[in-house]
Structure 1
Amino acid sequence: MAGASPRYDSCRYCQERFAQRSGPGRKKEYCSIDCRGKAQRERDGKLRRHARNALPLGGRIAEDLHALATALLKAEYEGRPLADLLRYAVEMGREVDYYASAAVQDARNRGASWDQVAEAAQISATTARTRWPESRVKERLERRTGERTSVRIPPTVAVPGPDAAERKLLSKASKRASAKLTSALSHLQRASGLTLREVADQTSMSPSYISRILSGRRTPPWSVVCTLAELFGGEPAELTVLFESAHGMVPPARHAIPDAVARLQAALRGLHLAAGRPQAAVICKASHDALSAETIEEILSGEVIPGWEQTAALVSALGGWPADVRPLWQAVHYTFLLCLDPPEEPPRLSAAPTESA
């Protein structure tokens, strides 16, 4: 409409206000080409720093190999059927091949020459170049990432399996946790300003696989969660409980006090991240003033351990289900009651719980 006042936005780089373009099409995010270029250079620098500091590709695969070897040894001790033993052996063989490719790529990233790689592998430099070119290694690791499923290690102690009703509840909780995990990773990605192509270039994952993760169509393994969270500038620890719940992993019933407290706090911070990290005042309003802004800040910063009513109010205000978090809260309070040697300065408890754990 003629005479309408122009719309103003803040530049994502310099924070200066600028007149936003009118009409259809994508809106401007920067006030000038210069600011856009500076922002891109900063993102490129961040990607390079992450590439230098990230866990080596071979390290991630070695962790999975360690888990497989542990599972195989336990299966041997238990006298498991030959089919189970061979399944572990085949998977380990496949992982060893992937590890070799990753280890070579790690060495090349650190500046190793093909002659040095050839000497270590006891082959010719020409064979090394042919066997482990960067493009082929990247393709192999993308395939591994897309196909890899979590290793199912038998529990140390046999326990009765859940009945149908319990399985249904666990399934619903897993789906809710998976959705929250997706929301948390998506928020971190948007806040980082990184495109799917930029992420793919630094993680050996395809843009389509990353897109499936961030859209909730694929629940990633823990190594991928860590890689993405770190690349986006987040803390993987905040996503631990969401990841375990999404995969239906049941942690031990009892923990030492610091571990139990850390798990509860990680779950609450994970929900806060999945909600987009709203301000305390916004959460206060969503809780219908059941929690003050000051109390919310103390809980999320780890200064206090909330009572159950406060925990439930916070979880609900963040869009979570209190029933999913209740076992973690119970573990903390049971631990405080049962532990005979508490730490010298345990986290401060807020109002006493209003109902029996």
Structure 2
Amino acid sequence: MAGTSPRYDSCRYCKERFAQTSGPGRKRVYCGVECRRKAQRERDGRLGRQQVRSALPLGRGIAEDVQALSTALLEAEYDGRALKDLMHCVSELNRELDHYAAAAVHDARNRGASWDQVAEAARVSATTARTRWPENRVKERLEQRAAQRAAVRQPSAPLAEGPDPAGGRPLSKAAERASQKLASALSHLHRASDLTIREVAEQTSLSPSYVSRILSGERKPTWQVVCSLAELFGGDAAELSVLFESAHGLVPPARHAVGDAVARLQAALRGLHLAAGRPQAGVIRKASHGALSTQAISEILGGEMIPGWEQTSALVTALGGWPADVRPLWEAVHYTFLLCLDPQEVPRPLPASRPGTT
């Protein structure tokens, strides 16, 4: 009809209004060819990222956690822990083994394995395999596990414990390791400063014996003392923040913003680097048996690159750390990645005042 006003719709891509076509046929959803092409490129990009994610082996990270829990069980056995503690370790280990089986099947299916092949490997019928590990249930199960482990928290298995260097409650093995790394990092900074123990004591109002015991790992300093010593030695307290939190068994908030989580991971890696005496990239590359290039090492420690787990694990091992201690920090960074979401920001370095414990 000649007097009919044109109908307007909003472009699905640019959100601008455009005159809709009249007559029969499929209605337009984009204002023009350019917006349609841009929208298609974005869809292709999202699909490509999802395909890359699905190709990553989920079982490998869980296998590393199984190894850590097995070590915890062995340590508990050596320490003569009560049967209740041993059985708790067994329960945690069995749960992770179930998660690993589901992840291993998921990885195999992504690589093209048929249900008959899965059934043969698991020694069950194909019907049982399909029922036990359907894709939607496995995905939901692994997402729930990822959400639980994204929070940096105390180890779920009761690790063998030793005395707290500060004379308080017992420490887990992970806390003991962090405490020694913190002492090593402060000791390295002290040696580089050329200050004597007495000079350090005079400038920090601490006794020489107390300073000596901090640097040897016999005493755990407060965060205020860590900051004072780091500043006096010409170091950056932010690099020691995660080691400090781990050494004291502090539990950060259950969920971090992506930027904050990346800053914590970077602080942990730089702290381990400092505790190792700040070896050159070439030395670290050799210790990693070629798993890391010198360029990658420099970029990771310089905060220019967020490493994948294989790179993170190789770097931590080369620096004398335990990958299982760092993995919760890495998972906190890649939590959205594991849920098929994209991190939206790259963070700044962690401020020295973050732990806030005095």
- Whose RCO is larger (CA < 8 A, sep 6+)? 2
Give the TM-score taking structure 1 as reference length.
Answer: 0.49
- Larger gyration radius, structure 1 or structure 2: 2
